[in-house]
Amino acid sequence: MRLRKEHTIDKYLKEEVKREKNHWREILLRLFALVKNLAKQYIAFCGTKEKIDERNNRNFLRFIETFEEFDSLTQEHIKRVKEGKIHYHYLSPKIQNELIAMLGSEFKRMIIKKNSRAKIFISNSRLYSR
C-alpha cells in the first residue's frame, strides 16, 4: 500500500538523487554550450591560472564566473567548489579538453551523416555523383 502511495522509507533519498542528477545534467549542458561558443568564436581557453576567482585565470573560467552572476544553478555549483563540498567539478583543463574532443567527434559524425545523404559531393576538387 505504501508503494502505491509512494510513501516509502527511501522516498527522500530518491528525491535527493533525482535533484543531484538534474544538477549535474544542467551543469554539463552549460559547459557544453560554453565550449561550443568559445570554439565558434576562436577564443582561447587558456590563461595563466586555473582556479575560480584568481586574477588572469582561463577564459573558460572567466565565462563561468560571468554565468555565476546571473544563473542560480551555476552560483550553487561554484559555491560547492569553493567550500570543498565537491572534488569533481568539471571545470579543469582536462575536462575542457574532453568536452572539446566529444563535441568534435559529434560534429564530425554529423558532417559524415550529412555528406552520406547528399546526391552530389566534392572531394579533392573532384565532383562525384551518387
- Tens digit of pLDDT for each residue in 26-66? 999 999 899 888 888 888 877 666 777 777 778 888 888 88
Encode pLDDT of 119-130 as tens digits. 666 666 565 555
Query: What is the residue extent of each domain of the chain?
Result: 2-129
Rounded to 10°, the helix 72-82/11-40 angle is: 100
Largest CA distance in the chain: 71
Would the pTM count as exceeding 0.95?
no
Encode pLDDT of 10-28 as tens digits. 878 888 899 999 999 999 9
Instruction: Please give the grid coordinates belonging to residue 98.
Output: 574532453
Cα–Cα dist 50/89, whole Å: 13
Eight-state DSSP code of residue 114: H
* DSSP assignments along 36-96, one per residue: HHHHHTT-----SB-STT-TTB-HHHHHHHHHHHH-HHHHHHHHHHHTTS-S--S-SHHHH
Look at residue 45 in the predicted model and tell me its pLDDT.
79
